[in-house]
């Protein structure tokens, strides 16, 4: 296996607008994508697709004027998922005291989003961000998130944790477990943006490393026989920058027609950092000797 780079000839992005940190849920009639909205008044952008290629804007989880009372902004990294037939969405937001916390909302019978009314998870002295959900073959659900140890002073290790959820997925049960720590050179001070999928008895944890605002941001993968680890990292990143696209990361693995796809954001060359948008791309994934890999020839044709 070798590290794959995005093609040097720029593919057309699926969403040619700011669409960072995508999370995707499979629905009966297609897919729902939610993405970071940051400081925009409409919080947590929503998009719909029937083919994983063409996306149509579908509003926001919290339109302007409907933010939950506990949150004051920085709506990041939503994770939509169907739970017991009802659409839920975990997300990151800053509380009224300035802490980054995880929130939870779900759709009522009329399709309106209802918030839990308080943070789903907070840490007393560091931010928690980037929720991700996996449901195992036996129906149990686990939530993953990142602790902002990199923002502590003095700086602390950056950790991804996991914990089991209740049957209705609205309460954490048991104790959190550390499943990943930044300990490889390419990750620098950060591991974040978990996405976990189960395949052939393995749990694959896709994650991003390094700072999101630069070309060194990349996507890695680790695997375990248990959703709570221990996870073994592949080592080198799975997907890195190219001359055309920088910082490919914070993605989600989606099974669709034609195979498995990694939907992720990236900066266009020469447009790195705010106020430039992080556009939505998709990259074909194949499986090689028990690990996910990027098929370079196929990806050149199908990344867009």
Tell me the pLDDT tens digit for each residue of 169-209: 999 999 999 999 999 999 999 999 999 999 999 999 999 99
Distances (CA, A) of 259 to 128, 240, 283, 303: 33, 21, 11, 12
User: What is the tens place of the pLDDT at every residue in 104-134?
Assistant: 999 999 999 999 999 999 999 999 999 999 9
**Taking the domains of the chain in order of start, what are their residue ranges?**
4-302
Cβ atoms of residues 16 and 35 within 8 Å? no
For residue 2, what pLDDT is reported? 54
Q: Which two tokens stand for residue 126?
A: 């560091």
Q: Residue 294 — pLDDT band, cuts 50, 70, 90?
A: confident
pLDDT per residue over 204-232, tens digit each?
A: 999 999 999 999 999 999 999 999 999 99
Distance CA 217, CA 194 (A): 14
Q: Are strands 239-240 and 4-5 parallel, antiparallel or unpaired?
A: parallel
CB 262 within 8 A of CB 251: yes
- Are the beta carbons of 265 and 22 closer than 8 angstroms? yes
Q: For the purposes of burial, counting CB atoms within 10 Å of the CB of 109, is it exposed (0-12), middle (13-18) or buried (19 or more)?
A: exposed
Give me 20's structure tokens: 């960072």
Query: Is residue 292 scored above 50 in pLDDT?
Result: yes
The answer to whether the predicted template modeling score (pTM) of the entire model surpasses 0.85 is yes
End-to-end Cα, the chain, rounded Å: 23
pLDDT, position 297: 38
Tokens of 247: 């910082």
**CATH for 4-302?**
2.115.10.20
């Amino acid at each position: 296996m070798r590290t794959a780079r995005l093609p040097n000839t720029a593919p057309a992005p699926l969403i040619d607008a700011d669409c960072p940190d995508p999370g995707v849920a499979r629905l009966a009639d297609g897919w729902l994508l939610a993405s970071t909205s940051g400081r925009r008044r409409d919080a947590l952008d929503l998009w719909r697709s029937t083919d994983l290629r063409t996306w149509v804007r579908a509003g926001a989880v919290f339109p302007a004027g409907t933010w939950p009372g506990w949150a004051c902004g920085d709506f990041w990294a939503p994770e939509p998922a169907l739970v017991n037939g009802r659409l839920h969405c975990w997300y990151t937001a800053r509380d009224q005291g300035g802490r980054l916390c995880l929130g939870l909302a779900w759709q009522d019978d009329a399709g309106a989003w209802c918030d839990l009314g308080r943070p789903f998870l907070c840490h007393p002295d560091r931010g928690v961000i980037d929720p991700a959900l996996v449901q195992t073959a036996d129906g149990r659900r686990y939530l993953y998130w990142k602790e902002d140890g990199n923002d502590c002073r003095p700086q602390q290790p950056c950790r991804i944790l996991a914990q089991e959820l209740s049957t209705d997925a609205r309460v954490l049960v048991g104790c959190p477990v550390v499943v990943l720590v930044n300990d490889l050179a390419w990750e620098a001070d950060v591991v974040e943006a978990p996405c976990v999928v189960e395949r052939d008895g393995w749990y694959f944890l896709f994650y991003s490393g390094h700072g999101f605002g630069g070309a060194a941001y990349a996507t890695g993968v680790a695997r375990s026989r248990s959703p709570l680890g221990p996870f073994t990292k592949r080592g080198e990143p799975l997907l890195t920058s190219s001359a055309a696209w920088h910082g490919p990361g914070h993605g989600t693995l989606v099974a669709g027609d034609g195979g498995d796809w990694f939907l992720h954001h990236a900066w266009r060359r020469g447009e790195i950092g705010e106020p430039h948008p992080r556009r939505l791309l998709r990259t074909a994934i194949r499986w090689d000797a028990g690990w996910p890999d990027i098929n370079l020839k196929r990806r050149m044709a199908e990344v867009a």
